[in-house]
Structure 1
Amino acid sequence: LHTSHLTCAVRFSHYSISFVVNFLFSVVIKYRSSVIQHYQTYRNKTTELFSV
């Protein structure tokens, strides 16, 4: 009973971890272009600040 319960828990945790990883991966792909755009504008602003 204990071993089967443990196997089920491990399987469930593995499934949830893979689900979270896939979710984060899809979010990163979805927002990657906008994040890069924001980062470039932020970097341009900081370089302007430091150049002055």
Structure 2
Amino acid sequence: MHTSHLTCAVRFSHYSISFVVNFLFSVVIKYRSSVIQHYQTYRNKTTELFSV
């Protein structure tokens, strides 16, 4: 009983850790794509200003 409870807790913690890691990974990917997009628009604006 005690060992099965322990394995259940370990399994639950493993699932929660993998869920948190996947969530952070998806957030980082979304944030990175938005940052790259903003950086490209900012760079385009600065090049337009300097070209004029």
Quick check: TM above 0.5?
A: yes
TM-score by length of 1: 0.65
1:6-40 Cα shifts (integer Å, max 9, x gaps): 00000000000000000000000011033456789
Moved over 6 A (4+): 37-52
Q: Give % identity.
A: 98
What is the TM-score with the length of structure 2 in the denominator?
0.65
Q: Please give the root-mean-square deviation of Cα atoms over the aligned residues, in Å.
A: 4.4
Instruction: Choose 1 or 2 for highest CA Rg.
Output: 2
Structure 2: stretches of 5+ with no match in the other structure: none
Structure 1: which 5+ residue stretches go unaligned?
none
* Pair 1:51–1:6, CA change in 2 (3 A): farther
